[in-house]
Amino acid sequence: MSHTVLVCDDAIFMRTMITDILAQAGFEIVGEAETGSQAVEKYKQLKPDLVTMDIVMPDMGGIDAVREICKHDPDAKILMCSAMGQQALVVEAIQAGAKDFVVKPFQPSRVLEAVQRVLG
C-alpha cells in the first residue's frame, strides 16, 4: 500500500510541486493545508503516514503546528520544508519534533531521500 501524505504550505505553487514530486514517486496525497491550524486539524482527521510542513504560514506557523501534532501523536513523521537562511527555525522545528527537512529550491531526488529517511 502506498504511503499517505498531507502537504502543508500556504503557496499553491509549492503544494503543487511537492504533490507532483511525491505523486510521481507513488505516494498518495490525501490532503493539503494552507495554514498551521489547518495542518493540525487535517492531521487528526486523516492520520497520514507523512506530513510535509512549510515553516512560514499565516494563522499558525509550521513550527507551532509541529508541536501541536506531536502533542497529539509523538510518532508523527513530519518533514519540514525550509529555505536557505532558516537554520535557526529548522533547529527549532527539529527540537519540536520534526523528523527531517528539505531546503528550497527542491530537488526531487533530495525530497524523496528525505521522505525515505523519515518513513524509515
Partner 1 sequence: MDLSQYAELFLAESREHLSACNQLLLEWERRPAAPEPVGGIFRAVHTVKGMAATMGYARVADLAHRMENLLDHLRRGGRPPSDDTLQLLFRATDALEKAVDLAVAGRERDADVETVVVDLDRAVAALAPAAARAAAAPAADLVPSPPPLAGPIGGGAGRLVRVMLRLEAPLKGGRAMLIVRKAQSLGGVHGITPAPSAFEAEDFDGRFAFRLETSASPEEIEAAIRTVGDVERVAVGEDESRAPRVEGALEAGRTRHIRVDLRRLDALMNLIGELATARGRLNELAAEWRDPAIDDVAIQISRLSADLQTEIIQARMTPVWQVFDRFPRLVRDLARELGKQVAFRVEGKEIELDRAILDELGDPLVHLLRNAVDHGVEVPAERRKQGKKPEGEIVLSAVRERSSVAISIADDGRGIDRARVLGKAKREGLVDARAESLSDDQLLRVLARPGFSTAEAVTSVSGRGVGIDVALTKIRALGGSIEIRTELGKGTTFVLRLPVTLAIVRALIAAVGPERYALPLTYVAETVEFGTVAMTTMEGREAMVLRDRVVPLVHLRGLLGVSGEAPPARRPVIVLELGERRAGVVVDGMLGQQEIVVKGFEAPRGTLPVFSGATIMGDGVPALILDAAGLL
Cell numbers of 98, please? 520534526
Cell numbers of 43, please? 492531521
Please give the Cα distance from 81 to 50 (Å, whole number): 13
Please give the Cα distance from 117 to 40 (Å, whole number): 22
**For residues 79-118, which are near partner 1 according to CB under 8 A?**
80, 82-88, 90-95, 99-101, 103-106, 108, 113-114, 117
Tell me if 16 contacts partner 1 by CB under 8 A.
Answer: yes
Residue with cell 490525501: 30
Q: Which residues bind partner 1 (CB under 8 A)?
A: 3-4, 10-14, 16-17, 21, 28-32, 42, 45-49, 56-58, 75, 77, 80, 82-88, 90-95, 99-101, 103-106, 108, 113-114, 117, 119-120
